[in-house]
Amino acid sequence: MRTAQMTIDPAFAIGAADRRLFGSFVEHMGRCVYGGVFEPGHPGADADGFRTDVLELTRELGVSVVRYPGGNFVSGYRWEDGIGPVGDRPRRLDLAWKTIETNAFGLDQFMTWAARAQVEPMMAVNLGTRGVQEACDLLEYTNHPGGTALSDLRRKHGAEQPYGVRLWCLGNELDGPWQVGHKTADEYGRLAAETARAMKLVDPSISLVACGSSNRGMSTFASWEATVLEHTYEHVDYISAHTYYDPSDGDQASILASAVDMDNFIREVVATADHVAARLRQPRKLKISFDEWNVWYQSRLQADLDRRGWVEAPALIEDTYTAVDAVVVGDLLVTLLRHADRVGVACQAQLANVIAPIRTRTGGPAWRQSIFHPFALTARYARGTVLRTEPVAPTYPTARYGDVPVLDTVAVHDEERGELVVFAVNRGTEDLALDLDLRGLPRPSGRAHLTLAAGDDPTACNTEAEPDRVTPRETTTPTVDGGRCTVRLPAVSWNVLRFATRP
């Protein structure tokens, strides 16, 4: 068996494991809203039409923040369409997803749903087809206490207290030629800066996210960030990053190394932001809002869009995830945690049905996809301080990223609860023996080892008929002797190693 070594010491702190790293995303796209979180005719829907099975799974998933209402959708959206009596709301063409938007679900319902799901709302404003005024109007409706036209309109609609939304995205992926209202970096940077300035006049307590690149492969990547930040640095708190990893070509070795790409992406955005800060003599360090990330079989999207004309809530990109995809998602979470000092928010895209951890059948049940499990367990156990780990491990070859380490890890230490949790991914197709040196911790002892192993059945999926085929299993609790232990990480697996750090 191949071996790897790692020393963990609480002195090597990176930063706090911010709860906002466990965010998700609800977009008016496909069946994420309609048939996902909202389905008034469903036997399990509550009085507001929210699916209670999806609400329960959302709470179980441990989601902290939910971004809304898009995505590409927001770039043509009129937020006023989604407020007031449902019968009076207009039906519109949603150009992003070639869909009829009924507006049966809108802002006030999202806020009610978010409270019930126990998540923090994160809103995006439309900077595709709209601008400064509409963004300020939306903010006034949402956050102003009362005594103005729009805040009183909210109160008339039943929300006496302001929603107090703290996190706001200044548009979505405006670097992308597919985006309605696509802009150059200068055009977007100017608009984002002016919108930010005005929004902070309406409510100075908000935090703002400027749009970074849609992905690291964009030809404008890095120069887009640099130009946008030249315009916006003093007004914003975050720059966004988005990425999706596509397993469609069947290259398992490469897809398992996706976190290598995410890691480089984060380092490059940080370097770009710090470069701009240096040029502007800005001492404040900007953070990243990684507000879209996931595994996505993207090659299926065009077929979904080609198949139909204008319809309501069609099934779009309802990817069924494999056990390998779950290991990849677990590894992407490891990467986000490892950058806890510079990534302040992260949202897996999306929550229900659309490339999502939660799947539903309209009128039927809801179930956990394979990728649900690494998210839920990371959100549950990554509490406290993220620690730097420097594993020494063998490498394996990949077509996409060259030679990469078989092992990826991060550790989180919760001093208060007396627990150290090591998240460890074995990307290799052989079992790996991991030698851990925990002598820097007072009296460590093994508590549990949970593993999601894809090696035996990489294509296994959870389906309506078999919803629990891919689930993490408890294996032998690690034995710590003299502060050292060896743990066997199965081939292609994502692992949670829990240790008590005091008797």
Nearest to 436 by CA among 503, 499, 502: 499
**Sites of contact with ligand AHR (CB under 6 A):** 27, 29, 70-72, 172-173, 214, 292, 349-350
The nearer residue to ligand AHR, 206 or 354, going by C-beta atoms, is 354
Residues ≥6 apart with Cβ < 8 Å to 476? 449
In 248-341, at which residue ranges do the beta strands (DSSP E only) sit?
287-295, 311-312
The nearer residue to ligand AHR, 72 or 102, going by C-beta atoms, is 72
Pair 286, 229: CB distance under 8 Å: yes
Nearest to 447 by CA among 415, 472, 480, 416: 480
Nearest to 266 by CA among 290, 247, 233, 230: 290
**Active site residue: 173, 225, 318, 419, which one?**
173
CA distances from residue 97 to 30, 70, 72, 136, 170 in whole angstroms, order as listed: 8, 11, 8, 26, 20
Shortest CB 243 distance to ligand AHR, Å = 10
Shortest CB 295 distance to ligand AHR, Å = 12
Nearest-angstrom CA–CA distance, 183 and 130: 12
The nearer residue to ligand AHR, 101 or 140, going by C-beta atoms, is 101
The nearer residue to ligand AHR, 258 or 426, going by C-beta atoms, is 258
Q: Quick check: bond before 282 cis, omega within 30? A: no
**Active site residue: 80, 120, 292, 318, which one?**
292
* CB-based closest residue to ligand AHR: 71
Known catalytic residue at 312: no
- Residue 70: which H helix or E strand, with range? none
CA distances from residue 177 to 111, 128, 355 in whole angstroms, order as listed: 31, 11, 22
Known catalytic residue at 474: no
Number of C-beta neighbours around residue 314 at 10 A? 21
The nearer residue to ligand AHR, 27 or 237, going by C-beta atoms, is 27
SS3 label, residue 445? strand
Shortest CB 495 distance to ligand AHR, Å = 28
* Residue 302 CA from chain centroid, whole number: 23
- Residue 432: which H helix or E strand, with range? strand 432-437
The nearer residue to ligand AHR, 168 or 499, going by C-beta atoms, is 168
Residues ≥6 apart with Cβ < 8 Å to 204? none
Shortest CB 70 distance to ligand AHR, Å = 5
- Residue 98: which H helix or E strand, with range? none
SS3 label, residue 346? strand
Nearest-angstrom CA–CA distance, 220 and 223: 6
Shortest CB 144 distance to ligand AHR, Å = 28
The nearer residue to ligand AHR, 350 or 462, going by C-beta atoms, is 350
The nearer residue to ligand AHR, 258 or 475, going by C-beta atoms, is 258
Shortest CB 296 distance to ligand AHR, Å = 8
Amino acid (one-letter) located at 87: G
Q: In what order do the strands lie in the sheet with 99-101?
A: 92-94, 99-101, 311-312
For the annotated catalytic residues, the residue numbers are 173, 292
